[in-house]
Structure 1
Amino acid sequence: MRLPATALLIVLTLLLPALSQAQPIIVDPQVLQQLQETIRQQQQQLQLQAEQIAIQARTLQALQQQVQSMQQTAASPEAVRAAAAPPPLPSPAPVLSSGNDKIKLSLSGQINRAVNITNDGGSTKLYPVDNDASNSRIRLVGTARISDDLTLGTRLELSIAPDESSVVSQNNQAPGDYFNQRWAEVSLASKRFGKLSLGKGDTASNTTAEADLSRTNVVQYAGISDISGGMRFTYKTGGYIPYPGSTDSKDKTLKVSDVFKSGDGLSRQSRLRYDTPTWNGFRLAGSLISNQQSDIALYWGGEGYGFKAEGAVAVANPKITNAGLLYDGSFSLLHSASGLNLTLAGAILDKEATEDRTNLYVKLGWLTTPVSLGSTAFGVDYTRSEHAARAGDRAWSVGAAMVQAFEKWATEVYFQYRIYALDRADGSAPVANINVGTFGARVKF
């Protein structure tokens, strides 16, 4: 049996006096050192155990406090309801992935359907349409990071729009499905040097007449003919108005889109486009386009002193017979606190032998949030378009719109009432106004 070091020390202490009387004691220094080391280790162990006991006491006290807090919370009505609620559903697994793991792929799009109730001066009819102010579409965007500065991009976007509002007319109420390749491009973007785009997409001048901060532009913006561009004007005495220059090969009569043209650049075409980096809110863009067309544009956007603003101007060469350059621009200003906003847009097409084609657009708006569902936007606008279908034509339009956003569901519900009017200078019979009431919804995904 091995005695503890303390007991051994006591025994030695008692025996040493007696032994000292009998004979001299010789103490081994090594043994004494071992005894001292053993005592030191046991003292350290006792100190460590004391510290552990103190830590356990504090932990036990904290656990007791948590139990008391949980008992109080469990007794509340909110906790009872939470306990009775079903567990949250797990997040769905991604359903879309790229066929190439080096490309990040995203899918998005929208559905934008509307109903137009239209009076052409002779009759009133209902027309279900796909809203061409922002038609239904689907897009695939792929990106790949080449370096900290360079990003490779791709974009494929298709319009899928049954019964376009710009085509539906009195004589063609269901023109059928519309499929169009809006975008098919590859791009290379650099933070330092800008962006180069190759393929079909926005030309540099596209959207330069459409700067708009009102949030009514899902149905109300400078392109006022988009929502009912196919509707035919009629004489007040009856009958449609002949128009040999109509783009409709089957119906050579005058329609809304022949008379109202926003002049918004060169739209989307196959092009080579370059955009500079943004500097103090400014950005330049230029493109070389099919059929030897070209354009250049300047964009700007900024915020300060309680206002938000954006604008753009462009010059384009549309290569139109007997016409020169197309100039257009727009500007929109929003007062952030009140929601009041102003939008202006205009365009001039230089014609060689006749009056220049002009378009002027102005809108006053109010953006507010009276309910928690999302923003509510109101707008009233006026458009003046001259010499569009032929020299001497003067047309005007007024409209009022409301757009209610439901942000939780990425949905907008909108209403608009619009009047299209045309005066002709050739002494022909008066033209009847076209009145259009619109109700629709856009859902983004």
Structure 2
Amino acid sequence: MTGGIFNKTSAFALVAAAGLMMGGLSFATTSAKAADLGADDLEARVAELEATTVRKGNRKVSLELSGQVNRALVAWDDGKDSDAYVVDNEQSSTRFRMKGTGTISSDLKAGFLIELGVNDSNSANVTQANDDLATEDTTVKIRQANAFFESKTFGRVTLGQGSSATDDLGIINLSGSLSDASQYFNNVYTVRGGGNVTWGTIVNGSNFFDSSRGDFVRYDTPALYGFILSAAWGENDVWDIALRFQKEVSDFRVAAGVGYYYNGEHKDNTDPRAAVASTVKFDKVFGSASILHVPTGLFVNGAASSITKYNTSLGDVDSQAWFVQGGITKRFLDYGATTVYGEYGNYDDAGVGSEYVANSGDYITASDVTRFGFGATQAFDGAGLEVYAQYHHYEADVKVENAAVKLEDWDAVVTGMKLKF
């Protein structure tokens, strides 16, 4: 019995010794190879690794890479047909950005921002007939490409492709609702019973609650008691001015903004299928506000807008819109905040002056659209992820040369996920 144990122990010892010898031999071989690598060879190897590594052009400018992917499934019903599309969610679209900043002095810095949108099957451009509309917005496009100077004392000047002063002014939102007053999911869907009229024609107007990006010179003041004043001038006779405010007062977090936007050479291409875009001059006053009660997570968001279009087929046309949203955002789960909300909006006379049926000479003389819905968003902080579900309902009344028209409602259920990096 003792001999058996001895024999087994001896066998284990021999295996261990063999392992040590092999390990020692491997270490010796590796050490020998390392010793054989001369200084010149080592420098060449380092240079090779540097050549294949993504890096900044210099050490004077900090570089930040970030972005997001936002994909959604939209199941829609227009009163006659229904389908489901996989889209890029234009409410907060897929993009990636590069931002660089260099310090000039303790008060002054300069930098740049380049942001590209990757909008395959853009939710603002798909139609009943086509779930992948072939326009420039379904491919990679430049959202921002600008340079800036920023002073703590005097503010910030930005030059290049980017946001006007009023961009995002009408969609201020302190909650995690991932839904806003702008309308994107049925933008170029034909309204059933409405000839060639699209939902974008009778809802967006000239985009009630937002402003487009373009080539601008923009100035933003430093924050003063929570206020920031912005102004911008752009190509094609476009200029605007905006005032924003954000502050925490007692248990409440408050954010708001109001602005004026003028476009002297607007190309009204609400329907991207149109062969030639018409030119309509317009201006608008609009704004929004958001209030969040921090202890409870209860919030209310609201927006309002008034637009005047000049020299349309029916002369000067005034249109108005308003939108309200309320709910709760709170950390019910350890993963992150849960947001539940309901929303309601009205868009009045946005379609006035638009042609009702192609080449008929009949024009919309009045339009009224009611929108309501609800939704939920769950954040997963550890992954930079938000998962959401939304329900949208639109119903419209339209008059053509003072004759009422019967239109079908539009409904959709939207589910998706947004991942930030």
TM-score interval for Structure 1 and Structure 2 normalised by the shorter chain: 0.7 to 0.9
Shift of 1:429: 3.3
Choose 1 or 2 for highest CA Rg.
1
Q: Equivalent residue for 1:360?
A: 322
C-alpha distance in 2 between matches for 1:433 and 1:379? 22
Is the aligned partner of 1:203 residue 2:164? yes
Match of 1:439 among 402, 415, 418: 415
C-alpha distance in 2 between matches for 1:278 and 1:356? 34
C-alpha distance in 1 between matches for 2:197 and 2:55? 48
Q: Equivalent residue for 1:402?
A: 376
Within a 5 Å distance, the mapping from 1:175-186 to structure 2 comes to 175=133, 177-186=138-147
Structure 1 spans left out of the alignment, 5+ residues: 1-92, 236-240, 243-252
Shift of 1:291: 0.5
Task: Output the TM-score relative to the length of structure 2.
Answer: 0.77
Is the aligned partner of 1:291 residue 2:253? no
Is the aligned partner of 1:369 residue 2:369? no
Shift of 1:300: 0.3
Shift of 1:101: 2.0
Match of 2:392 among 418, 422, 427: 418
Is the aligned partner of 1:339 residue 2:297? yes
Match of 2:340 among 378, 400, 425: 378
Match of 2:246 among 301, 306, 313: 301
Shift of 1:102: 1.5
Contact 1:378 1:401 in 2 (8 A): yes
Within a 5 Å distance, the mapping from 1:111-130 to structure 2 comes to 111-130=69-88
Contact 2:72 2:89 in 1 (8 A): yes
Contact 2:289 2:302 in 1 (8 A): yes
C-alpha distance in 2 between matches for 1:264 and 1:428? 28
Match of 1:159 among 113, 117, 125: 117
C-alpha distance in 2 between matches for 1:124 and 1:350? 35
Shift of 1:204: 0.3
The number of equivalent residue pairs is: 335
Contact 1:165 1:230 in 2 (8 A): no
More strand by share: 2
Q: Equivalent residue for 2:30?
A: none
Contact 2:308 2:316 in 1 (8 A): no
C-alpha distance in 2 between matches for 1:409 and 1:322? 45
Q: Secondary structure at the match of 1:356?
A: strand
Shift of 1:231: 2.1
Q: Deviations over 1:205-233 (max 9, x none)?
A: 111111111211x2x1011x213323221
Give the AA of the match of 1:343. Answer: N
Q: Deviations over 1:16-71 (max 9, x none)?
A: xxxxxxxxxxxxxxxxxxxxxxxxxxxxxxxxxxxxxxxxxxxxxxxxxxxxxxxx
Give the AA of the match of 2:252. Answer: F
Give the AA of the match of 1:163. Answer: S
Is the aligned partner of 1:257 residue 2:204? no
Is the aligned partner of 1:212 residue 2:157? no
Contact 1:214 1:379 in 2 (8 A): no
Q: Equivalent residue for 1:100?
A: 58
Structure 2 spans left out of the alignment, 5+ residues: 1-49, 267-278, 353-364
Within a 5 Å distance, the mapping from 1:61-80 to structure 2 comes to none
The RMSD of aligned alpha carbons is 1.8
Contact 1:418 1:435 in 2 (8 A): yes
User: 300-309 vs 261-270, which deviates more?
Assistant: 261-270
Task: Output the TM-score relative to the length of structure 1.
Answer: 0.73
